Amino acid sequence: MPSDLPIIGRTLASRFLITGLLGEGGMATVYRGTQEAEPTELAIKIMNADLAMDEKFVKRFRREAKSAAKLDHPCSVQIIDYGVEDGLPYIAMELLKGAELAQILHHEQRLPELRAARIMADVLSVLDAAHQQGIVHRDLKPENIMVARSTDDSGLDRVKVLDFGIAKILEPDRRSSKIDANDPDEAPPSSFGRSKLTMMGTIVGTPEYMSPEQSRGGEIDGRSDLYACGVLLYHLVTGKVPFLAELPFETAMLHVTATPERPSAITPAIHPGLEALILKAMEKSPDARPATAKEMETALRALIPELATERHALRPPPEPKVSKLDATVASVEITHAPRALATTLDDEATARSQEVTEPRGIRVGVSATIVGDDFLATPPAPPVQPALVAPKAPLSSVASLLIGAGLAALVLLIIALVALR
């Protein structure tokens, strides 16, 4: 069956009928499908045509799918079948019902500590199973975690981790000198090997959740996934990721160089033990993080009885610093005001001065917001008519008066002396 025919309506492996589109990504497109056997409904992920043209890619894809199929865990997606037909690599898997964790975060902004811890404990549980098989996820993010409410009376979330083995297939592999990594048939799943930030123009990993070593393109192991779990926990309880820049590369480099803001600076009531575990998982050095997913899961589950069931309030933003008088003059009408007129309030705040002509008095119309310890005026304030300001007598006038008075006294003294003679 030619690969250029429309996908919907086709049958893969004489078994899976593709009935509709579920979603599209950078490396694959996911379709809804049916089969006669159980489960009758399923999801079929078909790799994009440009990647499917690479023979090495196709062979590695088979190995990756095989590794993912071996992962048998309640929180992993069940792989039903995989293969390549007519040049189309595909994976048939169980059809999940629920919502992406990203959608839940978008709707609720952040989660209660208890719910966040339970979700991430399940994620860590499946990571432990994957790491024991040498599979490192390397693209943990809210979009790759599905959450559905349990159908039993517990009301707990049912968690599924998506895309094991899919985001890693573009990368070169190194595991042991006994294996020829240049031979596509011998090369192990790339989840064992060296991670590259990009290859073939495709980003591997999501910068907001990538470990420092992954951001640098260095050697990684399961502890890189634990770093991502720390970032996810941070995001779930605070409502924000610890690092975010304008460009993806800049965000990735922040994981390498910057210190994250403590969660308690955002949600002051966070459980101290939970904050400590988040920051431990986000240590720059892999050696400073929990050694295994099981260790981190155990520590997280131990905190669950003490965690809050309601969302914590965020720290209120700091109050803006204002001066005694913060006013903007909208209009000023001045007649006969002193030059360089200035008014003071409480000897601490000074109003803007205006250069004006010679004085006699002042009439001012002001539209302003006044903030002070003694009063608060709300704009727009009606024009006011302050009392006329009596002008100060010029220095020359005072001198003239003094000279005149002195002359008059002298004249009176002379008259008195004449009279006495």
Burial class of 308 by CB neighbour count within 10 A (0 to 12, 13 to 18, 19+): middle
Catalytic machinery residues: 139
Are 280 and 289 contacting, i.e. CB atoms less than 8 angstroms apart?
A: yes
**Distance, CA of 126 to CA of 120 (rounded, Å):** 10
Our CA dihedral for 396, 397, 401, 402, rounded to 10 degrees, sits at -30
**Distance, CA of 64 to CA of 286 (rounded, Å):** 25
Are 12 and 3 contacting, i.e. CB atoms less than 8 angstroms apart?
A: no
* Six token digits for residue 37: 């056997």
* Six token digits for residue 248: 């993806």
Are 357 and 339 contacting, i.e. CB atoms less than 8 angstroms apart?
A: yes
Nearest to 363 by CA among 332, 338, 341: 332
Give the dihedral sign, CA 64/70/72/73.
negative
Nearest to 355 by CA among 373, 332, 371, 375: 332
**Distance, CA of 106 to CA of 371 (rounded, Å):** 38
Nearest to 46 by CA among 25, 64, 73: 25
Nearest to 232 by CA among 364, 119, 346: 119
* Six token digits for residue 215: 């951001």
Distances (CA, A) of 206 to 47, 141, 228, 248: 19, 7, 10, 8
Q: What are phi and psi of 340, to 5 degrees?
A: 55, 50
How many angstroms from the chain centroid is the CA of residue 101? Answer: 15
Are 19 and 6 contacting, i.e. CB atoms less than 8 angstroms apart?
A: no
Burial class of 342 by CB neighbour count within 10 A (0 to 12, 13 to 18, 19+): exposed
